[in-house]
Amino acid sequence: MKILLLGQTGQVGFELKRVFSPLGNIVAPTRDQLDLLNKQAVADYLSEHKPSLILNAAAYTAVDKAESEHELASRLNGGLPQQLADYAKQANASLIHYSSDYVYPGQGDQPFDESAPTGPLSVYGKTKLEGDDAVTASGCQHWIFRTSWVYSARGHNFMRTMLRLGKDKTELKVVADQIGAPTPARLIAQVSLLAYLRDIPAGTYHLAPRGKTSWQGFAKAIFSLYRTMGHPLAIESEAVHAIPTADYPTPAKRPLNSRLALTKLEAALDIALPQWESQLEQTLEESIDRETA
């Protein structure tokens, strides 16, 4: 089977490349080899390689920058998935695509399920929703996984930023009124493979670990586990102070409630997704292995 992987240098793309490799021949162009902003180049690439499965982990993920780069974000997050889905429909190929909790309006304190009304608060969220809608409307064989707060032992993410800051600073202020589930890229890739192999019904699914926390809670857990694993830090967990979103202004508005209901995916796969805390432990272990290698 020929698999096309887009976004292999990103957090999710890196893990997808590892876990899908037993399934077939993966072609995974880097940005230098294929600029995804270039619609004609993407069309030519699809015609040349004729993949029967596309894993689209590429996206415009700079949430704040997207506010001033709407067109670029729209091409990557909306136009590209549309193009991939149109190809998949006419070539009878399958498409696995990734989306975000930011498509929801973030009100209340209950988890959103996949049928909840959308209502993105940011350009990033709006463009991700454009992509989801286009893939769904295309009629191709597809799975869209909406996930939240992605992190891994590589790349730019909250866990790595906190570890860097926690080695120098003795106090930090972290937002405590945004609630969600931190999701390791590795879990996303593993569950995607399971969903593909079990051929669950096409559609949109939420994919995150069980449980919830705030960014402040996540930061405290990172520091406390890191120390438990025998590694020094300048900061103590108690010195991570809670602040409201209002005290940390950003160009893009973020949802306060990022809780995602997991029942649909758990039922389709007949599994219980793991708790976010156990996933953090595994990801921190991997991060420490990389630091000490």
Shortest distance in whole angstroms from residue 81 CB to ligand NAP: 9
Other beta carbons within 10 Å of 134: 20
Site string (29-48) toward ligand NAP, x via CB under 6 A: --x---xxx-----------
Shortest distance in whole angstroms from residue 100 CB to ligand NAP: 4
**Is 196 one of the catalytic residues?**
no
57 binds ligand NAP (CB under 6 A): yes
Of 54-62, 191-199, 216-224, 248-256, the window that binds ligand NAP (rule: CB under 6 A) is 54-62
100 binds ligand NAP (CB under 6 A): yes
Please check whether residue 258 is in contact with residue 250, taking contact to mean a CB–CB distance below 8 angstroms: no
Give Cβ neighbours of residue 49 (< 8 Å, ≥ 6 apart): 2, 4, 27
Indicate if the alpha-carbon torsion angle 68, 69, 71, 74 is positive or negative. Answer: negative
Question: Quick one: which of 45, 12, 71 has its CA closest to 191?
Answer: 12
204 phi/psi in degrees, rounded to 5 = -105, 135
Count of residues binding ligand NAP (CB under 6 A)?
A: 24
What angle do the packed helices 185-197 and 276-292 form, to 10 degrees? 120
Nearer Cβ to ligand NAP (233/259): 259
205 binds ligand NAP (CB under 6 A): no
CA 205 to centroid of chain Cα atoms:
13
User: 167 is written with which tokens?
Assistant: 């080695």
Nearer Cβ to ligand NAP (57/221): 57
Shortest distance in whole angstroms from residue 134 CB to ligand NAP: 13
Give the chain's length.
293
Please check whether residue 153 is in contact with residue 220, taking contact to mean a CB–CB distance below 8 angstroms: no
280 binds ligand NAP (CB under 6 A): no
Catalytic residue among 45, 87, 104, 124: 124
Closest residue to ligand NAP, judged by C-beta, is 10
* Positions in 117-176 near ligand NAP (CB under 6 A): 128, 147-150, 155
Please check whether residue 76 is in contact with residue 124, taking contact to mean a CB–CB distance below 8 angstroms: no
Q: Which residues are catalytic?
A: 124
Can you give the binding site for ligand NAP, defined by CB under 6 A? Answer: 7, 9-13, 31, 35-37, 57-59, 61, 76, 98, 100, 128, 147-150, 155, 185
